[in-house]
Amino acid sequence: MRATVSTSSTAPSVLLCFHGRGREAAVAACLVAATFLALAAFLDPRAQASSWFFSSSSSSSSFSSLQSSGGGGGSEHLLLTSTSYSGGGDGGRRRNSTGKEVHEEVQVGDDDILLSLPKSSSSGHGAPPLSVSPPAAVLAPAAAPATVCSQATPRHPAQGSSDEAIQATPQVRRRRDVKLERLELGLAKARAAIMDAVRNKDNRPPLADKDYVPMGPIYRNSYAFHRSYLEMEKLFKVYVYEEGEPPVFHDGPCRSIYSTEGRFIYSMEMESRLRTRDPDLAHVFFLPFSVVKMVKMIYEPGSHDMGPLKRTVSDYINVLSNKYPYWNRSLGADHFMLSCHDWGPYVSSANGHLFGNSIRVLCNANTSEGFNPSKDVSLPEINLRSDVVDHQVGGPSASHRPILAFFAGGNHGPVRPSLLAHWKGNVDNPDVQVSEYLPRGVSYMDMMRRSRFCLCPGGYEVASPRLAEAIYLECVPVVVDDGEYALPFADVLNWDAFAVRLRVADIPRLREVLAAVSPRQYIRMQRRVRMVRRHFMVHGGAPRRYDAFHMILHSVWLRRLNVRIAAQQG
Ligand SMILES: *[C@@H]1O[C@H](CO)[C@@H](O)[C@H](O)[C@H]1NC(C)=O
Ligand SMILES: *[C@@H]1O[C@H](CO)[C@@H](O)[C@H](O)[C@H]1NC(C)=O
């Protein structure tokens, strides 16, 4: 079924929960029943980035004023609102295979509070209108050089459990239901432990950890994050579907600006602790396709026809949902996909449930294009030139950074034209270095190391590899957008503490705004940039704790905690 994502017009009756997004910049108003003790304390109506989940109420950043003029980041959501799914049959309230309207049974805490909440995303999918052509050969990749990770990606023979799925006897189903209930019980305990940590954040000594103890203002709530992270390590299990052949499946680019896509797929395949081979023990199911590889193998350059890409994804989901019971029982809510390609969001619209229910881990995390921060995950874009980032890391202190602000990059997308028009070749302000191309012999990384602030406007999409690069090189990042970019790991990280957010309309004031940051403030921010770097690191070999891979998984973990899958009964 190639359902398009629909718009629901029905007003929610009990809960009002809509995101400030798009031009209207509607107020992010999430009124949840008072079951959530203390929750009110986390919602600061004045903070545009309405803090939820791990927010620490005390963190009023000195830089929040920089984003005071509108709905910047107003898309956050109450992550701990849990949603109950029981797909298949009439169990749930979600009967929208036709994509009319999704009413959900949402559970808050342990008390049943039913509310109906239109879930489907409203707007378009962020891709230009495209023609749809008759089906082409879908899974017929031409022989092309498979890149980087291919050889290293292990292949696993499909497992016997799939046959079991096809002819599930009542006993098998019951066993499965018992396992599911046990999984949900485990999640409920983890949820309770984390909520407890959220409430007690200031009263307890830090948790023990041999590697690292999260602390300080870079976190919304470091204690709760730590608790949640440890719970994840203890409990979380991901199942990676075996179906599909490389390079479109089980493979991806491990270098280039899309590297996070390939690196994640690769690391997930290699992962031993957080991965399970038994789907009945899994909390989430990973759909291991690579949009970047699809674009390379399936898309016909210049055709502007993404039909074959979308068909690949919808066929894949049809195969899985026919073979296994897992997709149907949650309508995709405990499944996740991941893509760093600009077209990731568009390709995800191949299946209405994938778009509307599943966890979509995307670099192109544009809330004006259906990215929903309460269920989707913002994936950092990292331009890997080699297998690791280690050699790109580090930089001098502020006093050795003569340039105030730096940007070099192509003039495309919605933000850069304004930036270049105002600041390119601005001889009156030589400490603002903005250009399309660097002169021959000038190193991009050196420029970042010599700059106090690095400007990170999106290009064709909201994400930019500059964000991670700035963090690696200890240059304080400046996100330039109109609040539609959902920043990576924002449910854990307090971006205000180590980054500046500048609205597009404020580009002419850029110098004034940045020059107003006092040296002391700057030193503090730079120190925090150094601290937060750990979470953006990509290491050679196996991923390490608290690195980018684990932060991505942690984001998925948090979203799975919000969902409760009900057993099917019979
Ligand atoms: C899942 O649902 C689809 C569509 O309703 C159906 O065709 C398919 O057989 C179901 N899968 C299983 C494993 O029951
Ligand atoms: C986000 O999406 C909206 C709607 O498609 C678009 O107008 C805007 O330019 C996008 N933002 C960026 C920074 O790409």
| Pocket (CB within 6 angstroms of ligand 2) | 126, 366, 368-369, 413-415, 458, 461-462, 481, 484
pTM of the model: 0.78
Nearest CA to ligand 1 atom 8: 322
- Tally helices (H) and strands (E) across the chain: 16, 16
- Alpha carbon of 314 to ligand 1 centroid (Å): 14
Please report, for the chain, the start and end positions of each structural domain, with discontinuous segments joined by +: 39-202, 394-536
Given this model, what pLDDT does residue 568 score? 67
For residue 485, which ligand has an atom nearest its CA? 2
Residues paired with residue 565 on neighbouring β-strands, in sequence order: 85
- Alpha carbon of 328 to ligand 1 centroid (Å): 6
Given this model, what pLDDT does residue 222 score? 94
Nearest CA to ligand 1 atom 12: 322
Q: Is the CB of 217 under 6 A from ligand 1?
A: no
Q: Order of strands across the sheet with 563-565?
A: 105-107, 82-85, 563-565
Atom of ligand 1 nearest to the CA of 327: 1
Token pair, residue 445, equals 């990384």
Q: Is the CB of 321 under 6 A from ligand 1?
A: yes
User: DSSP secondary structure string, 95-146?
Assistant: --TT-S----EEEBTTB--------S--S--SS----------TT-----PP
Single-letter amino acid, residue 23: R
For residue 419, which ligand has an atom nearest its CA? 2
- Alpha carbon of 459 to ligand 2 centroid (Å): 10
- Alpha carbon of 115 to ligand 2 centroid (Å): 31
Q: Which CATH number fits domain 394-536: 3.40.50.300, 3.20.20.140, 3.30.70.140, 3.40.50.2000?
A: 3.40.50.2000
- Alpha carbon of 321 to ligand 1 centroid (Å): 6
- Alpha carbon of 18 to ligand 2 centroid (Å): 19
Please give the Cα distance from 244 to 256 (Å, whole number): 24
Given this model, what pLDDT does residue 362 score? 98
Given this model, what pLDDT does residue 535 score? 98
For residue 318, which ligand has an atom nearest its CA? 1
Q: Which residues contact 421 (CB under 8 A, 6 or more apart)?
A: none
Pocket-testing residue among 161, 241, 243, 321, ligand 1, by greatest number of atoms within 8 A of Cβ: 321
- Alpha carbon of 366 to ligand 2 centroid (Å): 7
Please give the Cα distance from 452 to 528 (Å, whole number): 14
pLDDT mean for each 10 residues of the chain (570 residues): 35 25 29 28 29 40 32 36 58 35 33 24 28 27 35 43 60 90 96 91 83 96 96 98 96 90 94 94 98 96 95 98 96 97 97 98 97 97 82 91 97 96 94 95 95 97 96 97 97 97 97 97 98 94 95 98 78
Question: Is 100 within 8 Å of 6 (Cβ atoms)?
Answer: yes
CA-atom Rg of the chain in angstroms = 23
Given this model, what pLDDT does residue 201 score? 59
- Alpha carbon of 394 to ligand 2 centroid (Å): 32
Q: Which residues contact 92 (CB under 8 A, 6 or more apart)?
A: 84, 85, 86, 104, 105, 331, 566
